[in-house]
Structure 1
Amino acid sequence: MTGTFKKIRRRVWLILNILVVFWMLAGVLCMQVPPSEFWPAGFVALSLPGALVLNFLFLLYWVFRRSWLLVLPLAALLLGWNYYGRLLAINFAEEVPKEAKTLQVLSFNTHVFNAYDKIVEGVPQVSNDMVDWVATHPADVFCLQEFYSRVNSIEYNNFNRIGTRYGKYKFVSTLETDRIKANLGIVIFSKYPILQGGTIHFLNKQRESANRAAWADLDVNGDTVRIYAVHLQSMSIKSEDIENTYSAIGNEESFKKEGRNVARRLKRGFIARAQQVEQLLEHVRQSPYPAIVCGDFNDIPFSYTYQELAEELENAFVKAGNGVGATYNGPLPFLRIDNQFYSPGLRAVSFETHYEMGLSDHFPISATYVLEPKAAE
């Protein structure tokens, strides 16, 4: 009887393991499918981390059982190794030659420096601590999304406080908003001269979206590097939505209502970002210079958005980072939605997520790149 029970248990675990492997395959395949053409693919891809973790747990289970069946999760792990690398990066420090040309890039969604979280007598007040942290960071290039500045205010003119005061060059892609004429959008600051720049205005169902990408060509001691600062369509999910969903557990009707609300917003985001990343990559492909594409992509590494970028560009966190690299500072843990990608001609040698700056809903990320010597003609 005991032997029969063991056989049944083993068969059940084997079937479950096979199902997890098929789940993994489905998730990988769905990352290749544009959600704008088949939106359910976005949700399947979103679930892939769960399959990756379960497959690893099955590997440990079969090892513990000393069963030859460990070959199944082991084969899946080896075949999907690149996707595990998106979950957890392990890299060793690289020594950079003194003669090498380097470029350190900081990317940060500043959440308008929390200006609208603190309003005094009807006037937004920015976080001085956040502005000062950015202004004094040693990076060579600053790609700031949800940038906020008040042109007619000496105290809150962040163009001056971050840029002019420290002799930085800047490229601005902002909209004028609210009654006190504040500028909101994307700004690229650089210690190196900016040769030219522009804005990619994303289309959403043939209408211009508030999200955008700015680009600037920098003269880095005689070499030209193109920098993209990107802000793709938001998930449009607030902390309250997540908290409401958690609190609705146990109340079937309320949970379904909150769940449908979150699912609708995720669906809209999947579709919009799929269109935007295609428009972005079309521009990147035409760059005559090595490019760094960084910013708030509002999508995890298991998405069509990330997959499209990763097929053509390297990811600085994967190549030079360590740990899980979570960048979302909110109620959902372990989300990495801010990234830096780069093209041939550059090499990432270090990457850091700045958890010490926790005043925004995103953590800043920085990477240092080596400009590879040009091949002799």
Structure 2
Amino acid sequence: MRRSFAFKCTLLVIGWLLVAIACVQIPAYTFWPAAFFALTLPVALALNLVLAFYWLLRNWRVAALPLVVAFLTWPHFQRGLALHPLRVATAAEKPGQLVRVQSSNVRIFNVYPQLRDAQSNSSRQMVKFLVENPADVLCLQEFYNEPAGTRSQDGSLFRTVEKIGRDAGRESFLSRTLTNSAGAEFGMAIFSRFPIVSKGTIKFGKLTQNHAMWVDVRLPSADTIRVYNFHLQSMSMEERDIVDSYSSKAGLRRKGLGLMRRFKRGAVVRNTQIDTLIKRTERCRYPMLLCADLNDLPYSYSYDQLADHFQNAWATVGNGVGSTYNGKLPFMRIDNQFASSQFTVDDFWVNYEIPYSDHFPTTGIYRLVKPEQTTK
């Protein structure tokens, strides 16, 4: 076969693709440039498909090479662009205990002055959405609560543990990271309509907003499951700086190097945090559901480690990119839900109708399949 320029390009793209996949599996604390090269993986995946179609028109024998590569790397493609056009939600009468989970980064309910709007409408609407939510379990990151006795000018607006928890018929677990001088509490929270039988916190070094928490809940079927809620290290990059960096050459020169340094530092910390979390999940004997603000993209070591151990709900049943970041940066899916193999994912969606934070909430419906049912 004559080694044409197109064929050389095909080999180059396949090599690029394989190296990028390898980089996804390398933690940034071991070799930090891998985190940057891993971000090129979606481009390599797309180019490989383009070349497959090109060779189908030119030479089907050569087309077999990129087609085989596309088949083998399809799970990685699904991470960034899920395609399930013929999927229908699992029928409700199928056996197994249903669990509906809502996860959301609530951005401290916009309590700070720079986040508030007129009459704190976004705060009221966000709390109302959570209070009335039909989910069995709520996992909330960047949580804020003003317990009774807090010195506040907002009345009962931010008595969120009380409103979302007891008043709505849910048990609650607030993992506090800070209580300020006025008595207000910051941290993460899990609310459950099922009884909470055990709970705990996982520190990533010093206890900050970036940590993990878990609860064991008893289902009506008498099964116990564990739900993890965690928030990884921020990317530490301002949206405005990112937009400036790619909008002009001058912006790239002014902002680019600083953004790269911050991304590197964030990747190193997130990769360490995810290793800590994975080790803890490996010791759990219960079926698991995980909700997270990963602050990382599907083409990252953090996501890859979770995907190696759990099903990603969006990649399993979703269609499209499933972006969860509510801002100017497109295609950012940084909020995710995962499930262990004992669950089937019935449905999953992003709540784009709830724009009150810089993250859109996500909702997943899972079915716990008992071991004897999986063998039938």
Give the structure-2-normalised TM-score. 0.90
Deviations 1:71-103 (A, max 9, x none): 232122112111111122233122232553100
1:172 corresponds to: 174
2:282 corresponds to: 285
Deviations 1:4-31 (A, max 9, x none): xxx9xx9333222222111110111111
Residue in structure 2 matching 1:104, options 100, 114, 125: 100
Residue in structure 1 matching 2:32, options 14, 27, 39: 39
Amino acid in the other structure paired with 1:71: A
Contact 1:217 1:227 (C-alpha < 8 Å) held by counterparts: yes
2:322 corresponds to: 325
Residue in structure 2 matching 1:363, options 360, 363, 367: 360
1:310 corresponds to: 307
Q: Return the alpha-carbon distance in structure 1 between the equivalents of residues 318 and 305 of structure 2.
A: 20
1:233 corresponds to: 233
Contact 2:95 2:369 (C-alpha < 8 Å) held by counterparts: no
User: Equivalent residue of 2:372, what SS?
Assistant: coil
Q: Return the alpha-carbon distance in structure 2 between the equivalents of residues 187 and 83 of structure 1.
A: 31
- Tell me whether 1:343 sits opposite 2:340 in the alignment: yes
Q: Return the alpha-carbon distance in structure 2 between the equivalents of residues 146 and 187 of structure 1.
A: 9
1:213 corresponds to: 212
1:4 corresponds to: none
1:114 corresponds to: 110
Q: What does residue range 87-236 of structure 1 map to in structure 2 within 5 Å? A: 87-91=80-84, 92-93=87-88, 94-97=90-93, 99-116=95-112, 117-118=114-115, 127-151=123-147, 152=150, 153-203=155-205, 207-221=206-220, 222-236=222-236
Contact 1:118 1:126 (C-alpha < 8 Å) held by counterparts: no
Deviations 1:123-152 (A, max 9, x none): 998611111112211110000001112222
Distance change in 2, residues 1:118/1:302 (3 Å): closer
Contact 1:115 1:126 (C-alpha < 8 Å) held by counterparts: no
**Which has the larger strand fraction?**
1
Q: Return the alpha-carbon distance in structure 2 between the equivalents of residues 16 and 112 of structure 1.
A: 49
Distance change in 2, residues 1:114/1:155 (3 Å): closer
Q: Return the alpha-carbon distance in structure 1 between the equivalents of residues 54 and 323 of structure 2.
A: 28
Q: Tell me how far 1:177 sits from its aligned partner.
A: 4.3
Q: Return the alpha-carbon distance in structure 1 between the equivalents of residues 11 and 181 of structure 2.
A: 59
Amino acid in the other structure paired with 2:200: G
Q: Return the alpha-carbon distance in structure 1 between the equivalents of residues 115 and 352 of structure 2.
A: 22
Q: Tell me how far 1:65 sits from its aligned partner.
A: 4.0
User: Equivalent residue of 1:277, what SS?
Assistant: helix
Residue in structure 1 matching 2:66, options 46, 63, 73: 73
List alignment gaps of at least 5 residues for structure 1: 1-6
Contact 1:201 1:213 (C-alpha < 8 Å) held by counterparts: yes
Residue in structure 2 matching 1:27, options 20, 24, 49: 20
Q: Return the alpha-carbon distance in structure 1 between the equivalents of residues 141 and 344 of structure 2.
A: 24
When structure 1 is superposed on structure 2, of 341-350 and 95-104 the one drifting more is 95-104
Alignment size in residue pairs: 361
Contact 2:209 2:231 (C-alpha < 8 Å) held by counterparts: no
Q: Return the alpha-carbon distance in structure 1 between the equivalents of residues 126 and 116 of structure 2.
A: 16
Deviations 1:255-308 (A, max 9, x none): 223111111111011111111111101111111211111111111111111111
Contact 2:294 2:336 (C-alpha < 8 Å) held by counterparts: yes
1:244 corresponds to: 244
Contact 1:345 1:372 (C-alpha < 8 Å) held by counterparts: yes
User: Equivalent residue of 1:131, what SS?
Assistant: helix
When structure 1 is superposed on structure 2, of 129-138 and 178-187 the one drifting more is 178-187
Q: Tell me how far 1:47 sits from its aligned partner.
A: 1.4
Q: What does residue range 266-277 of structure 1 map to in structure 2 within 5 Å? A: 266-277=263-274
List alignment gaps of at least 5 residues for structure 2: none
User: Equivalent residue of 2:204, what SS?
Assistant: strand
Identity of aligned residues (%): 39
Q: Tell me how far 1:321 sits from its aligned partner.
A: 2.0
Give the structure-1-normalised TM-score. 0.89
